[in-house]
Chains A and B, each alone.
Chain A
Amino acid sequence: MIQFENFQDFIAMGGYAANVWSVYAMFAVFLAFNLLWPLRKKKQLMREIKRRQIVNEQAHKQAEPETPVMQPLEPLADAASPAGDKS
């Protein structure tokens, strides 16, 4: 059963409007920030990784013009530890 007879009562929260609504507002900010911030960061990261790839490809092309474009990433992948490495 809804505890309020009208919208004004709901907003007024029995005289505790400032406290109740500020807590729920903080809760909303808390949820939104901690979901949207990682998503934004992921976009930035992906953009950054892509940008580096392009830079690497171009550097590679200039160094060895005959190399096919399909393998420019190989030296980089060798230098780094392989993905999914076990401990």
Chain B
Amino acid sequence: MWTWFHKLGSPKWFYDISGRWLPWLVACMAVCLVVGVIWSLLFVPQDYQQGLTNRIFYVHVPVASISLAFFPLMAIAGTVSLVWKMKLADVVVKVAAPLGAWFTALALASGSIWGIDTWGTFWVWDARLTSLLLQFFLLIGMISLRSALEDTDAAAKACALLSIVGTINMVVIKYSVLWWDVLHQPPTNFTVDNSQPNGPEIWIPLVIMFLGVYLFFVISLILSVRNEILRRERRAQWVSELAAQ
């Protein structure tokens, strides 16, 4: 029953299968990002209030939403790595942290720039912005913990614990706009009716951008996981054979 699970944890198996998947993923990502960027810059109608600053929405929303996926991902992978000692899971926890920091930084920066003209300020200490900033610092903490403790058991344990804290914080980020009176707007309810606010002309390009950024997240994560596998398994026979080619 658990064989598939152990197979999934085999670094060599993952390296082989991901190598076969990568070209397809990259092709899909390129199509989505090119279509998404062109559509959102050129074709999305001006917002009745925000004018053309609504272009920022199409970068900020996908990046910020996906930045919330990192801590749950690391918490699950961290638990698997501690309980089943699966090698691949700890690799994921390690390489996800820097990528998550990039996502969070871009979410903060694009949101701030969007806020300059729409809110009249680039920063305010409201619950949404503050908790997202906390996520950034938690990720920086995980990265520095890793570089201090290297690939030891202690590092794996500390990072798994931090991911649990980060996951709780992620729930706070997500619901902060509903729980408290904050400056940041609540999530949008999209509709299929084109004569209503938030109709398809608004969300179709958003969905395409979402797909593109999601694929980018998966691809970048896979590339880093593959590198880390090569580094950790550098003395293994199959890596030597790969390098000799």
Contact = CB atoms under 8 A, between A and B. Distances in A.
A34 B239 contact: no
B10 A85 contact: yes
A76 interface: yes
A81 B232 CA distance: 11
Given A38-B223, A77-B236, A84 B13 contact: yes
Contacts of A35: 216, 219-220, 223
A16 B57 CA distance: 13
Interface in A25-57: 26-27, 30-31, 33-35, 38-39, 41-42, 45-46, 48-50, 52-53
Interface string B2-20: 0000100111110000000
A14 B235 contact: no
A86 to B, nearest CB: 5
A6 to B, nearest CB: 12
Nearest to A4: B42
Instruction: Give the dominant DSSP class at A's interface.
Output: helix
Given A19-B113, A35-B216, A50-B243, A84 B10 contact: yes
A8 interface: no
Contacts of A86: 6, 9-10
Interface residues of A, number: 44
A23 interface: yes
What secondary structure prevails in chain B residues at the interface with A? Answer: helix
B234 A49 contact: yes
Contact-residue size bin, chain B (C-beta under 8 Å from the other chain): 35 or more
Contacts of B242: 46
Nearest to A31: B216
A-B CB proximity, top 5 nearest: A83-B236, A80-B235, A38-B223, A14-B52, A84-B12
Interface of B: 6, 9-13, 33, 37, 41-46, 51-53, 55-56, 59-60, 63, 84-87, 99, 102, 106, 109-110, 113-114, 116-117, 216, 219-220, 223-224, 226-227, 230-231, 233-240, 242-244
Interface of A: 1-4, 10, 13-16, 19-20, 22-24, 26-27, 30-31, 33-35, 38-39, 41-42, 45-46, 48-50, 52-53, 73, 76-77, 79-87
Given A27-B106, A87-B6, A87-B84, 8 more contacts: A2-B42, A16-B55, A19-B113, A23-B55, A35-B223, A73-B240, A84-B13, A86-B6
